[in-house]
A and B are shown apart, each in its own frame.
Chain A
Amino acid sequence: MKGVRHYPGFLAVTLLCLLVLYLPLTVVAAYSFNGSTSITTWGGFSLRWYADVFTGPEATRFGQAAWNSLTIAIIASTVSTVIATAAALAMIRSGRFRGKTASYALINLPLLVPEIVIAVATLIFFTTIGLTTGYLTILIAHITFCIPFAYLPIAARLSGIEGHYEQAARDLYASPWQAFRLILLPLLGPGILSGFLLAFIISLDDFIITNFVKGAGMETLPTAIFGSVKQGIKPNIMAISTMMLGVSVLFVSLSYLINRKGRPAR
Chain B
Amino acid sequence: MQTAISIRQAVKRYGPITALHGVSMDIADNEFFTLLGPSGCGKTTLLRMLAGFEDVTEGEIHLFGERIASLPPEKRPVNTVFQQYALFPHLTVLENVAFGLKMKGVPLSDRNARAGKMLELVHLSGFADRKPSQLSGGQQQRVALARALAPQPKVLLLDEPLSALDLKLRQAMRVELKLLQEETGITFIFVTHDQEEALAMSDRIAVMSSGQVQQIGTPREIYEAPVNRFVADFIGETNLIEVDVDTVTDGQATVTLPGGHTVVCAAASNNSGRHALSIRPERVAITDHAPDLQATVERVIYLGTDLHLITRLDGGEPFSLRLQNASRVALPEPGARIGLKLEEGAARLLAD
Give the interface of A toward B (CB within 8 A): 162, 164-165, 167-175, 178, 183, 186-187, 264-266
Contacts and interface: CB of A to CB of B under 8 A. Distances in A.
B90 A164 contact: no
Interface string B285-309: 0000000000000000000000000
Nearest to B98: A172
B80 interface: yes
Contacts of A164: 82, 84, 86
Q: Name the residue in A173, A178, A183 with the highest tally of chain B Cβ atoms < 10 Å from its Cβ.
A: A173
Contacts of A266: 133
Given A171-B51, A173-B100, A162 B84 contact: yes
A171 B73 contact: yes
A172 B146 CA distance: 12
Interface string B74-104: 1000111010101111100000000110011
A168 B86 CA distance: 7
B74 A170 contact: yes
Given A167-B82, A171-B73, A266-B133, 12 more contacts: A164-B86, A167-B73, A167-B80, A170-B52, A171-B51, A171-B52, A171-B53, A171-B74, A172-B148, A174-B103, A178-B103, A187-B89
B88 A167 contact: no
Contacts of B148: 171-172
Interface residues of B, number: 26
Contact of B72 (A165, A170, A178, A186): A170
A265 B132 CA distance: 8
B337 interface: no
A2 B246 CA distance: 73
A206 B80 CA distance: 50
Given A173-B151, A183-B88, A168 B82 contact: yes
B131 interface: yes
A164 B88 CA distance: 10
Contacts of B90: 186-187, 264
Contacts of A183: 88
Q: Name the residue in A167, A168, A174 with the highest tally of chain B Cβ atoms < 10 Å from its Cβ.
A: A168
A71 B144 CA distance: 46
A257 to B, nearest CB: 18
Contacts of B154: none
B24 to A, nearest CB: 24
B147 interface: yes
B86 A265 contact: no
Interface in B26-76: 51-53, 72-74
Interface string B131-154: 111000000000000011001000
A173 B103 contact: yes
B12 to A, nearest CB: 16
Contact of A174 (B74, B78, B79, B86): B74
B245 to A, nearest CB: 50
